[in-house]
A and B are shown apart, each in its own frame.
Chain A
Amino acid sequence: MQRKKECVAMLLAGGQGSRLYALTNNIAKPAVAFGGKYRIIDFPLSNCINSGIDTVGVLTQYEPLELNEYIGNGQPWDLDRSFGGVHILSPYQAKKKSSWFEGTANAIYQNMAFMKKYNPDYILILSGDHIYKMDYAAMLKAHKATGADCTIAAIEVPMKEASRFGILNTNEDGSIYQFEEKPKQPKSNLASMGIYIFTASKLFKYLTEDDENPNSSKDFGKDVLPAMLNAGEKMYSYRFQGYWKDVGTISSLWEANMDLLGENPAFDVNDPDWKIHSRNPLAPPEYIGDNAVLSNSLISLGCEVNGTVVNSVLSSNVVIEEGAEVVDSVLMAGSVVKKGARVVYSIVDENTVIEEGATVGEDKEKNAGIAVLGRNITIGAGAKVAGGQILDKDYKGE
């Protein structure tokens, strides 16, 4: 008997994430740090392994170096397998032609050989832009139960935001009769989450047809899904209830971090029944000093906190010196806030140093926006970075 995998996951991780500005200067969006010790891609990868899906192709294109290194052999997610496991799939040169991935559908099409190697019955398409916990196995069960050719995970969004999403118009049994990509006047608020399960043979058929269609933009939402619907294939929605957040913008990334805080957080990463796996930092426990004041915050391994941290998320190895104050902020690994400096309503990327007495950002209430500091930069002593400002170079002040 030929060895096979019932379901293979394909994770689209090539996005540049240009709306994250300085945070994605040198890394792909799925590699952006989140929630103290995680990166965005930890969520779909953990969802896969927790759902029993152990074969994942990760499609990379934009600045893949750090993402590739992070994924490595997949061991942190238990995805180091001799048959299956996680595989980085980058654009390649083929005998007839070589090309970059031209769209989401094209990226999957170009890796047909990878999927076929596992002789799968189903293909799960994922993206690397969202923070959520989801049991894909339950979705696959629904896909089988309805006998669908394609099942699209969907979540209800506020009606006023519906025009930002791909909207599913469905019948009572969940079957989809219309798919509208970012409609100006949405008929429903049921948004596609960009998570699809296809019956493999159908996917291969429609991807091949799509590739041969010169008028196609090679996109799932714009081309492949409408083509399947027009051809009368069985397409169903799968209702997801729970936390799901696109972290593609500075403000949504900040909000998602804040959603981890509080007694009953909107999103709980400390869930023993659904562990989020990640590559763990090699660091001792955090040390909280004599003069530290901590309130409503997440602190990670290797931090040294001697100042004040309120409503904030600190990644590993962050140093907060005495008299420094961090409020409503997200500090990524290795960043340093020196004596008397103040960081408020900001996102600070890895290994950035804020020298003594400097001020970064302005109080949230002032509505100046979130200040963003890119990685490996230094904010000079006493310098002031205004609210909403985005810096990716050293700054000494005016």
Chain B
Amino acid sequence: MANSAVGVIFSNVHDENIPELSRHRTMASIPYGGRYRLIDFSLSNMVNAGITTVGVVTKYNYQSLLDHLGSGKDWDLARKDGGIILLPPYSDETDAPYTNRLEALKGITGFLNHRNEDYVVITDCDGIARIDYSAIIAYHEEKGADITMVYHEQVGPVDSGYYMTLTPDENGRVTGLKINPKLKANSKNDVYINVMVINREFLINIIQDAVTRGLSSFGKDILSKNVDTLKIFGYPFQGYYAGIDSLQKYYEHSMELLRKDVRDELFGARDIYTKVRDSAPSKYAEDAHVKDSLISDGCMIEGTVENCILFRGVKVGKGSVIKNSIIMQDTVIGSGVQLDCVITDKNVVVRDKRHLAGCAELPYFIAKGRML
């Protein structure tokens, strides 16, 4: 299994779903779960499946992503052969940077041509899940598929601006593929979760073909139109999946990490990798009151924290009460502050005695570096 596949991760796709958090960064580098970035989940899944070459497709705002990935050593992907390979937009005199997935794939055909693995695992960064990609590759081989698309049964409408539902037959063959269908409340749908396995040479061929024919949409022009002729299979993922397609979903799914079953599934095996910051262990002062919270390293807690997620290096001053909130890296909360259902982006300063509240449906968001 090892090295039978090369990975490709799209870092910017779906940025528009969550503008608050992607204003200064890629979808891939949105902070999640106290010490992670969204890309850590896809990247760790790849590493854990023995994939040692991962191309990361970028478009804009990717400084924070570069900073996060570094040489790739934190994922054991600082390699002579392969490792993490950043694929910024490629454009020559005639082409502007890509505007859709097909153009983005065209821009990385050089990368794909130079590899010799049989398969390409393509993922986006909008999903939190611990998925065994090697099982999907095995399924893909067993079915003799051209493309295997991973889906997850979801109830009700999907918030994302672009999504697909699949209709697999009893053998797993996808016989129907719809783009952005209207989904009824309480209806169960097999929603594609933006993880696919595809034969590498096949992928190169369809990109070439699409370019010569002037096609523009991978989903519509290639997948949807050719459902009958291509061997597209669906792979059901039945574990925990959190699709991050709006700020509200970001909040809702983040809070699910306070559930033991969710934490055990994602982190129980201790194999989700992330950038290391060398922070000290978190410090709980004499008067700290902490309940039902996920606290990352380097924090200093002197107040009350309930039902929260605290990222690295957060300070909570004396007499402050922080509830139901997500407090990102290096946020400093003074004393006597009250926060409820608040998301603070990185490096926010909340001065003494400020009171702020949102609600679970509409958390109060404070942008990066703001001082209140």
B272 touches A284 (CB 8 A): yes
The residues of B that contact A173 with a CB separation of less than 8 Å are: none
A290 touches B291 (CB 8 A): yes
Q: Is A36 an interface residue (CB 8 A)?
A: yes
Q: What is the 8 Å Cβ interface bit string for chain A, positions 106-125, against chain B (1 contact, 0 not)?
A: 00000000000000000000
The residues of B that contact A297 with a CB separation of less than 8 Å are: 283-284
The residues of B that contact A302 with a CB separation of less than 8 Å are: 270
B285 touches A288 (CB 8 A): no
In the bound complex, what is the Cα–Cα distance between A270 and B298 (angstroms)? 7
Known contacts A295-B288, A299-B281, A302-B270, A284 near B33 by CB under 8 Å: yes
Q: Is B138 an interface residue (CB 8 A)?
A: no
Q: Is A206 an interface residue (CB 8 A)?
A: no
Q: Is A137 an interface residue (CB 8 A)?
A: no
Q: How far in angstroms is the closest Cβ of chain A from B322?
A: 13
Q: What is the 8 Å Cβ interface bit string for chain A, positions 271-307, against chain B (1 contact, 0 not)?
A: 0000111101011111111101011111111100000
Known contacts A287-B293, A288-B293, A296 near B280 by CB under 8 Å: no
A270 touches B294 (CB 8 A): no
Q: Is A133 an interface residue (CB 8 A)?
A: no
Q: Which of B279, B283, B285, B295 has the most CB atoms of chain A within a 10 A radius of its CB? A: B283
B294 touches A276 (CB 8 A): no
Q: Is B273 an interface residue (CB 8 A)?
A: yes
Q: Is B23 an interface residue (CB 8 A)?
A: no
The residues of B that contact A290 with a CB separation of less than 8 Å are: 291-292
B293 touches A270 (CB 8 A): no
Contact of B33 among A280, A285, A298 (CB under 8 A): A285
Which residue from chain A places its CB closest to the CB of B284 in the assembled complex? A294
Instruction: Mark out the residues of chain A between 293 and 329 whose CB falls within 8 Å of any chain B CB in the assembled complex.
Output: 294-302, 309, 313-315, 317
Known contacts A282-B270, A294-B290, A301-B297, A36 near B285 by CB under 8 Å: no
In the bound complex, what is the Cα–Cα distance between A332 and B284 (angstroms)? 18
B35 touches A289 (CB 8 A): no
The residues of B that contact A36 with a CB separation of less than 8 Å are: 280-281
In the bound complex, what is the Cα–Cα distance between A309 and B272 (angstroms)? 27
Contact of B35 among A75, A277, A285 (CB under 8 A): A285
Query: From DSSP, what is the main secondary structure of chain B's interface residues?
Result: loop
The residues of A that contact B142 with a CB separation of less than 8 Å are: none
Q: How far in angstroms is the closest Cβ of chain B from A311?
A: 9
Q: Is B42 an interface residue (CB 8 A)?
A: no
Q: Is A263 an interface residue (CB 8 A)?
A: yes
Q: Is B81 an interface residue (CB 8 A)?
A: no
B283 touches A298 (CB 8 A): yes
Which residue from chain B places its CB closest to the CB of A277 in the assembled complex? B278
In the bound complex, what is the Cα–Cα distance between A186 and B23 (angstroms)? 66
A288 touches B271 (CB 8 A): no
Q: How far in angstroms is the closest Cβ of chain A from B37?
A: 14
A280 touches B280 (CB 8 A): no
Q: Is B115 an interface residue (CB 8 A)?
A: no
Q: Which of A284, A295, A301 has the most CB atoms of chain B within a 10 A radius of its CB? A: A284
Q: How far in angstroms is the closest Cβ of chain A from B266?
A: 8
Q: Is A229 an interface residue (CB 8 A)?
A: no
Q: Is B34 an interface residue (CB 8 A)?
A: yes
B295 touches A286 (CB 8 A): yes
List, sorted by A's number, 25 A–B pairs whose CB atoms are closer than 8 Å: A36-B280, A76-B276, A261-B283, A263-B285, A269-B280, A270-B279, A270-B280, A270-B300, A275-B278, A278-B278, A284-B272, A285-B294, A285-B310, A286-B294, A287-B294, A289-B291, A290-B292, A292-B291, A294-B288, A296-B284, A296-B285, A299-B295, A301-B296, A313-B281, A315-B281
Shortest 4 CB-CB distances between A and B: which pairs? A36-B281, A285-B34, A270-B280, A285-B296
